[in-house]
Amino acid sequence: MTHVIQIALPVPLPRLFDYDSPTLPVVGARVRVPFGNRQLVGVCLGESTQPDDSYVRKPIVEVLDQESLWSPPVWRLLNWAAGYYHHALGDVIQNALPVLLRQGERASYQATTRYQVTAAGKAEALEPLKRAPQQQRLLAALQKEALLSRDIRTQEFSPSALNALQDKGWVEAVEHIPAAVQSWQLKIAAEPLQLNPEQALAVAAIGAAKKAQTYLLEGITGSGKTEVYLQAMADVLRRGQQVLVLVPEIGLTPQTVRRFKQRFDVPVVMLHSALTDRERLDAWLDARAGSAAIIIGTRSAIFTPCKALGMIIVDEEHDSSLKQQEGFRYHARDLAVMRGHEEKVPVILGSATPSLETLNNALQKRYAHLTLTMRAGAAKPARHVLLDIKNTQLKAGLSKPLLDLMGEHLKAGQQVLLFLNRRGYAPALMCHECGWLAQCRRCDAYYTVHQGQRQLQCHHCGSQQTLPRQCHDCGSTQLIGRGVGTEQLEQVLQQQFPEYPVLRIDRDSTRRKGALSQHLDDARDNKYPILVGTQMLAKGHHFPEVTLAALLDVDGALYSADFRAAERLGQLFTQVAGRAGRASKPGTVVLQTHHPEHELVQDLVNNGYSHFAKSALQERHLTQLPPFSQQALFRAEANNAATVIEALQAIANLFPPRDDAFVLGPLPAVMERRAGRYRYQLLVQTQQRGLRAQLLRYVLPQLESLPILRKVRWSLDIDPQDF
């Protein structure tokens, strides 16, 4: 007998496909099917209830799995996400799978390499390796336990150190095939800290969880959120259940993982970008089989099936990297909350600077609100200083009082951190004689000057050219950088404070593999008294010797058209402030601004993030902006502006006029032209979530019949974060 089965395929079409099959594969199993003149790997959704007989059905080629790839809760999550984001299920599934499984590889282990100490290596003392710290660290780790090749990578051991130890005959490589299921039992490797009362309250509340409760753990930087995670996890692990931890950035992961490993003697897997596809699949299989106790990863890890999940933790829940900005535009924090419901397990959202969405959910009592208001250990909160730079002379963006302050801290042997969110030497190149500015030909943007590479670069389309010698308008050779970027700041600081080495951390200085973690280590070890950097430097890192942190130029956010700019500034200021004075020395954080009287600035500096965020929420309420309304954004682009406008207008016309929903646009994107393409958008906003879904379900199926949409590239973003 032939079954007609419904398949979700990795194609961007919002529909499912029917195929013939002699057997009935289980729901959630992969199948290989012919599609056009190629073969695709799709996922079986079961028997088709209304087979589409308008075309000749083809038979499937091969059933790849005997069982569903996902646990039922994750399978329900994927289906829910496809509905919520109005995104093709096939593409949702594609995003949720390790690359090798997308390609049709079997969902089973293959041999991998395991490194272990030889008898000689076991007997070897570590002390003589003092001169080779990388080898010393690796040998110490291997003397404790054998490591897989993926552990070598995720724990950032150096490959050359590994070679050296093998050459010495202290370490050997053996072929290793992981068992399908490895069992583990919790052993506490390091003593937990004595909790302060706030921490104890938080851990107790989480421990008493009704099964699917979501918690906002709002704790100022250094208040010991991680310790709360660790102690809350201990109970879960003790029961033999797994913990899934989402972290914003892979650069931060080694530190977090080290802390988890130090505390718990259980298998930890990391879904890390440094892994090979095979290693990633192995980690995924470990999670699915229950062999991994703790699973740590960035946003896509939220789709990892777990045999016995007991808790989900989203660290830095406000972080923008949790939202995917292309293709399937999901928010991993929101999916984490949904997954918690599906799995009936507690979800902890941790942050010093919670997003207004999450804060609102906590204030509305949808989430339990746990707060840590004091720094753990000896550290005191940083002192806030507002520097009015109106009508003052700046040196590479630095005011005199700030330079003086820096001098004091440096003289005292302390570290200083300067935040400037603009990489390159200068954000524009200008002719000193006629005012000409070098503009990217393909974007509505100026070129950034990169002095080191003697280049102009467009940070929006990536185009670059050698630094011109002459003005394109008047021929003058008097070309100067306008404004300040991190590269220039580094140079000027080096001249200003010649005896204190400067370390710059931005995308340019960390391009080389391993450079970021090396830089962060050097920063932490106070090898550089002066740290200069972009966003990268502001996040989560622990630099014990930093006592002064300053934000140089963030005024743009005060008058931005983006309604989230204020929230982001509040988060940035607080995160940067959190870098100062984390250890025993008191810290100072400086905000240079032309608008010291600005309400937001005053609120932030005088009352702190928590107060500031509540006022910002009130303002969102008054203006009916998210989270007090529901948005969806259509974006479209093409080489011709008129076509884009026409396309979005055609979409807009499909929305029935209503009082409780509005459709705004087509409006130009903030950067109307990028890489030669014109970009416009259409904003849909409703009061109720249900209405948004209903309207989109009505409009989206009609888009296939709009020929104009074939002339543009368009996408739909639910709960857009960027405009």
Binding partner of 195, given Zn ion, ligand ADP, none, CB within 5-8 angstroms per partner class: ligand ADP
Residue 438 engages Zn ion in binding (rule: CB under 5 A)? no
Based on C-alpha coordinates, what's the Rg of the chain? 27
Beta strands in 30-170 (DSSP E): 30-35, 38-47, 62-63, 112-117, 147-148
- Smallest separation, CB 258 to Zn ion (Å): 40
Residue 306, marked binder: no
How far apart, in Å, do the first and last CA atoms of the chain sit? 53
123 binds, among ligand ADP, Zn ion, none (CB under 5 to 8 A by kind): none
219 binds, options ligand ADP, Zn ion, none, Cβ within 5 to 8 A by partner type: ligand ADP
Chain residue at closest Cβ approach to ligand ADP:
224
Q: What is the DSSP letter of 129?
A: G
The residue (of 192 and 514) whose beta carbon lies closer to ligand ADP is: 192
Nearer to Zn ion, 285 or 638 (CB): 638
Considering the complex, state which of residue 194 and residue 393 has its C-beta at the smaller distance from ligand ADP.
194
Concatenating the DSSP letter of every residue in 295-343 gives EEESGGGGG---TTEEEEEEETTT-GGGB--SSS--BHHHHHHHHHHHH
- Region near Zn ion per CB under 5 A, out of 43-51, 179-187, 426-434, 701-709: 426-434
Which residues touch 599 (CB under 8 Å, ≥6 apart)? Answer: none
194 is in the binding site of which of ligand ADP, Zn ion, none (Cβ under 5 to 8 A by kind)? ligand ADP
- In the complex, least distance from residue 163 CB atom to Zn ion, rounded to whole angstroms: 43
Smaller CB distance to ligand ADP: residue 221 or 629?
221
Q: Which is nearer to ligand ADP, 104 or 544 (CB)?
A: 544
Per-residue exposure over 554-584, b if at least 16 CB sit within 10 Å of its own CB, e if not = bbebbeeeeebbbbbbbbbbbbbbbbbbbbe
* Dist CA 283 CA 273 (whole Å): 12
Pick one of 30, 272, 422, 460: the residue that binds Zn ion (CB under 5 A): 460
What minimum distance in Å lies between the beta carbon of 59 and ligand ADP? 55
Alpha helices in 132-241 (DSSP H): 133-144, 149-154, 159-167, 197-207, 225-238
Angle in degrees, CA 692, 697, 701, rounded to 5: 140
Q: Is 408 in the site for Zn ion (CB under 5 A)?
A: no
For every residue of 467-478, which 3-state class applies, written as one string? CCCCCCCCCCCC
CA dist., res. 235 & res. 273, Å (int) = 29
Nearest to 553 by CA among 589, 520, 592, 525: 592
**How far apart are the C-alpha atoms of 402 and 392, rounded to whole Å?**
12
Between the alpha carbon of residue 607 and those of residues 462, 476, 613, the distances in Å are: 41, 51, 10
415 interacts with, out of Zn ion, ligand ADP, none, CB within 5 to 8 A per kind: none
Binding of Zn ion by 442 (CB under 5 A)? yes
Residue 431 interacts, among ligand ADP, Zn ion, none and using kind-specific CB cut-offs from 5 to 8 Å, with Zn ion
Instruction: Identify the three-state secondary structure at position 278.
Output: helix
Cβ 5 vs Cβ 63: under 8 Å: no
Please say which residue, 199 or 353, places its beta carbon nearer to ligand ADP.
199
Output 21 or 226, the one with its CB closest to ligand ADP: 226
Neighbours of 401 (CB within 10 A): 15
Q: What's at 264, amino acid-wise? A: F
Say if residues 518 and 524 touch (Cβ distance below 8 Å).
no
When the beta carbons of 377 and 627 are compared against ligand ADP, the nearer one is: 377
Q: Which amino acid is at 519?
A: H
Q: Interface with Zn ion includes 271 (CB under 5 A)?
A: no
> Judged by CB under 5 A, does residue 440 bind Zn ion?
yes
Among Zn ion, ligand ADP, none, what binds residue 461 when CB lies within 5 to 8 Å by partner kind?
A: Zn ion
CA distance 150 to 166: 17
- Give the one residue of 7, 88, 458, 546 binding Zn ion; rule: CB under 5 A: 458
> Which of ligand ADP, Zn ion, none lies near 226, with the C-beta cut-off 5 to 8 A by kind?
ligand ADP
Contacts of 210 (CB under 8 A, 6+ apart): none
Please state the closest distance from residue 325 (CB atom) to Zn ion, in A.
Answer: 18
393-399 own/partner pairs: CB under 8 Å, 24+ apart: 395/492, 395/496, 396/484, 396/488, 396/489, 396/491, 396/492, 396/493, 397/484, 397/489, 397/552, 397/553, 397/592, 398/489, 398/492, 398/493, 398/496, 398/552, 399/592
Q: Which residue has the tokens 């950032």?
A: 156
Question: To the nearest whole angstrom, how small is the minimum distance from the Cβ of residue 239 to ligand ADP?
Answer: 23
When binding is defined by CB under 5 A, the residue of 473, 521, 562, 704 that contacts Zn ion is 473
Q: Which stretch binds Zn ion (CB under 5 A): 212-220, 256-264, 471-479, 514-522?
A: 471-479
Q: Is 44 annotated as a binding residue?
A: no
Instruction: Tell whether residue 359 is a contact of Zn ion (CB under 5 A).
Output: no
Q: Is 333 or 674 the residue whose CB approaches Zn ion more closely? A: 674
CB of 675 to Zn ion, least distance (A): 6
Compute how many residues bind Zn ion; rule: CB under 5 A: 14
Q: Which two tokens stand for residue 337?
A: 């909350």
Of Zn ion, ligand ADP, none, which one sits near residue 196, judging by CB under 5 to 8 A according to partner kind?
ligand ADP
Q: Which is nearer to Zn ion, 272 or 674 (CB)?
A: 674
Identity of the residue, 28 or 224, whose beta carbon is nearer to ligand ADP in the bound complex: 224
Residue 233, helix vs strand vs coil: helix
Tokens of 665: 């646009």
**Which of the choices ligand ADP, Zn ion, none does residue 285 contact, using the CB cut-off of 5 to 8 A by kind?**
none
**Residue 222 contact, options Zn ion, ligand ADP, none, Cβ 5-8 Å cut-off depending on partner type:** ligand ADP
Interface ranges with ligand ADP (CB under 6 A):
193-196, 199, 219, 221-227, 376-377
Does the bond joining 666 to the residue before it have cis omega, within 30 degrees of 0? yes
What interhelical angle do 159-167 and 133-144 show, nearest 10? Answer: 70
Residue 495: partners with Cβ closer than 8 Å, 6 or more residues away? none
- CB closer to ligand ADP, 155 vs 226: 226
Residue 676 as a binder of Zn ion (CB under 5 A): the answer is no
Which residue in the set 292, 309, 420, 431 belongs to the binding site for Zn ion (CB under 5 A)?
431
Q: Of 675 and 708, which has the nearer Cβ to Zn ion?
A: 675
**Residue 671 CB, nearest distance to Zn ion (Å)?**
9
CB of 582 to ligand ADP, least distance (A): 7
Which helix (H) or strand (E) covers residue 680, if one does?
strand 677-686
Partner that binds at residue 440, options Zn ion, ligand ADP, none, CB closer than 5 to 8 Å by kind: Zn ion
177 binds, among ligand ADP, Zn ion, none (CB under 5 to 8 A by kind): none
Tell me: does residue 662 bind Zn ion (CB under 5 A): no
For residue 535, the surrounding DSSP H or E stretch is helix 535-538
Q: How many CB atoms lie within 10 A of CB 318?
A: 26
Given candidates 80, 109, 184, 436, which one binds Zn ion under the rule CB under 5 A? 436
Query: Can you say which residues are annotated as belonging to the binding site for Zn(2+)?
Result: 431, 434, 440, 443, 458, 461, 471, 474
Query: Can you say which residues are annotated as belonging to the binding site?
Result: 431, 434, 440, 443, 458, 461, 471, 474
In the complex, the residues that contact Zn ion under the rule CB under 5 A are 431, 433-434, 436, 440, 442-443, 458, 460-461, 471, 473-474, 476
